[in-house]
């Protein structure tokens, strides 16, 4: 950031992530403009303020993508075809560009010569089509963010890979960061000049991060374990709660974040999930539900998903369909229904959702056989903040297990 840059703030200033960002902005001599995380207000302020930078939580980025998708679906026909084609080209172009410039996450050594040899021709061939897509389609979307926009920062939760890839494809740079309230809060963030998609970037200078296995051994790059951190921004402890402090903070200052992650060979950090969210099947397989849920939500027919299966033989899921998309699909296919709950009981709908699940959660997409979803239940109402969702819009799994105990029980009686 440079002195004079304009930053648009939408998060509450008491939010630790927003507070830390604003300290950095003030130190850098930037201008801060304030808006609200409400679509119509935010986009109007974007046009007026013309910010260089903008930071928010993943849910806002998801909302922007959902809004674009909805507009394209409603336009239909040739516009929908053109958009889908150019987004596909944009994703392929970004992939080969990242390979060419060594910006793919690497978890084991790989030949740079081989990467360059593989990527340089596809990158060159796709570049004119990517430029055409920018001129015909993407330029209009990027224009909504203002002519001076440089990059957005995402923090306070995991940015879904599909959202990450979408914005990369259309040419909007998002720098995802990682941290906790207990670490004041920023630990790492992607570099603007070398953003490695799928990671939260390298660790800040002066901060130590190590990945430990269940026995406390330090793991090398490419191996998953629990993230432990130490540095000047790490808390001294929970106020008047030495019992809680003792559980997460060692005597020599190492904080157990409770998050699962791994390092790339170049030192970027990748977040995988939460230790407490890990599902252990009867066969002993350890499964992180978050990547499965994120992939399921890439389906236009699935709005939310919660994977379950602790101590069971297989995985199942609670699925909240996208009511608008599903209803439109039913009408187009002449499927009779009286109301939305009755639509969810139609065999055609269950076949559709089952097909979507099997399509997205497959070996082809990098999932293991035991990560397959065997059964699912369709829920008519979306998960709500304060009920199934936390303030950060993360799934409150223990609450979901209690609220939907009957539905979950039936999934494992099949």
Q: In this predicted model, what pLDDT tens digit does every residue of 131-167 receive, in sequence order?
A: 999 999 999 888 888 889 999 999 888 899 999 999 9
Is 1 among the domain residues? no
Q: In this predicted model, what pLDDT tens digit does every residue of 302-317 receive, in sequence order?
A: 999 999 999 999 999 9
Residue 144 and residue 80 in one domain: yes
Q: 310: which 2 tokens?
A: 């602790």
Residue 301 and residue 191 in one domain: no
The residue among 242, 276, 310 that closes a domain is 276
Mean pLDDT split into 10-residue runs, the chain, 414 residues:
91 85 92 85 88 90 87 84 95 97 95 96 98 94 89 89 94 95 94 95 96 96 97 95 96 96 97 92 93 95 96 96 95 92 95 97 94 96 92 88 95 85
The residue among 141, 170, 199 that closes a domain is 170
Residue 156 and residue 299 in one domain: no
Say what the pLDDT of residue 414 is. Answer: 63
Q: In this predicted model, what pLDDT tens digit does every residue of 163-190 receive, in sequence order?
A: 999 999 999 999 999 999 999 999 999 9
Q: What is the mean pLDDT of the chain?
A: 93
Residue 17 and residue 129 in one domain: yes
Say what the pLDDT of residue 60 is. Answer: 87
Q: 350: which 2 tokens?
A: 């269950």
Is 258 among the domain residues? yes
Residue 29 and residue 160 in one domain: yes
Where do we find the tokens 């099997």?
Answer: 358
Residue 164 and residue 186 in one domain: no
For 202, phi then psi, to 5°, come to: -80, 160
Residue 36 and residue 155 in one domain: yes
The residue among 120, 136, 170 that closes a domain is 170
Give me the helices (H) in 297-381, please. 323-332, 340-343, 347-360
Residue 28 and residue 156 in one domain: yes
Residue 243 and residue 290 in one domain: no
32-36 contact pairs (CB < 8 A, 24+): 32/6, 32/7, 33/6, 33/7, 33/8, 33/9, 34/8, 34/9, 34/10, 35/8, 35/9, 35/10, 36/10
152, 175 Cβ separation under 8 angstroms: yes
Is 11 among the domain residues? yes
Residue 305 and residue 263 in one domain: no
Say what the pLDDT of residue 145 is. Answer: 87
Residue 243 and residue 133 in one domain: no
Say what the pLDDT of residue 308 is. Answer: 96
How many domains is the chain partitioned into structurally?
3
Instruction: Label residue 229 exposed, middle or buried (CB < 10 Å: 0-12, 13-18, 19+).
Output: buried
Say what the pLDDT of residue 212 is. Answer: 97
Q: 13: which 2 tokens?
A: 């200033």
Rg (the chain; Cα; Å) = 22
Is 44 among the domain residues? yes
Q: 209: which 2 tokens?
A: 């991060």
CATH number at 370 reads 3.30.300.30
- Can you name the residues that pair with 318 across neighbouring β-strands? 306, 377
Is 64 among the domain residues? yes
Q: Determine the structural domain holding residue 309 and report its residue range.
A: 278-411
């Amino acid at each position: 950031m440079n002195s004079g840059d304009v930053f648009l703030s939408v998060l509450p200033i008491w939010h630790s992530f927003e507070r830390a960002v604003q300290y950095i902005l003030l130190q850098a001599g930037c201008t801060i403009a304030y808006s609200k995380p409400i679509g119509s207000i935010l986009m109007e302020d974007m046009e007026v303020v013309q910010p260089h930078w903008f930071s928010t939580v993943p849910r806002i980025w998801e909302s922007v993508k959902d809004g674009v998708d909805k507009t394209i679906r409603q336009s239909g026909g040739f516009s929908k075809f053109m958009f889908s084609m150019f987004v596909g080209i944009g994703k392929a172009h970004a992939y080969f560009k990242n390979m060419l410039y060594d910006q793919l996450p690497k978890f084991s050594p790989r030949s740079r010569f081989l990467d360059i040899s593989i990527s340089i021709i596809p990158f060159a061939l796709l570049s004119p089509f990517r430029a055409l897509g920018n001129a015909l389609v993407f330029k209009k979307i990027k224009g909504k963010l203002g002519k001076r926009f440089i990059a957005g920062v995402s923090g306070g939760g995991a940015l879904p890979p599909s959202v990450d890839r979408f914005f990369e494809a259309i040419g909007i740079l998002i720098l995802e960061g990682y941290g906790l309230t207990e670490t004041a809060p920023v630990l790492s963030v992607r570099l603007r000049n070398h953003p490695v998609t799928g990671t939260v970037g390298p660790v800040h200078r002066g901060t130590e991060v190590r990945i430990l296995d269940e026995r406390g051994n330090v793991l090398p790059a490419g191996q998953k374990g629990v993230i432990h951190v130490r540095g000047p921004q790490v808390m001294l402890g929970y106020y008047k709660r030495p019992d809680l402090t003792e559980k997460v903070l060692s005597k020599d200052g190492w904080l157990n974040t409770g998050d699962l992650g791994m390092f790339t060979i170049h030192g970027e950090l990748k977040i995988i999930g939460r230790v407490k969210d890990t599902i252990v099947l009867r066969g002993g397989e350890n499964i992180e539900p978050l990547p499965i849920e994120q992939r399921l939500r890439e389906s236009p027919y699935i709005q939310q998903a919660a994977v379950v299966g602790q101590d069971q033989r297989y995985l199942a899921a609670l699925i909240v369909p996208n009511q608008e998309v599903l209803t439109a699909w039913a009408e187009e296919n002449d499927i009779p229904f009286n109301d939305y709950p009755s639509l969810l009981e139609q065999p055609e709908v269950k076949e559709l959702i089952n097909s979507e699940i099997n399509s997205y959660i497959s070996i082809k997409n990098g999932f293991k056989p035991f990560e397959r979803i065997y059964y699912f239940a369709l829920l008519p109402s979306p998960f709500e903040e304060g009920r199934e969702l936390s303030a950060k819009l993360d799934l409150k799994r223990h609450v979901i297990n209690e609220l939907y105990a009957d539905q979950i029980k039936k999934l494992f009686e099949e």
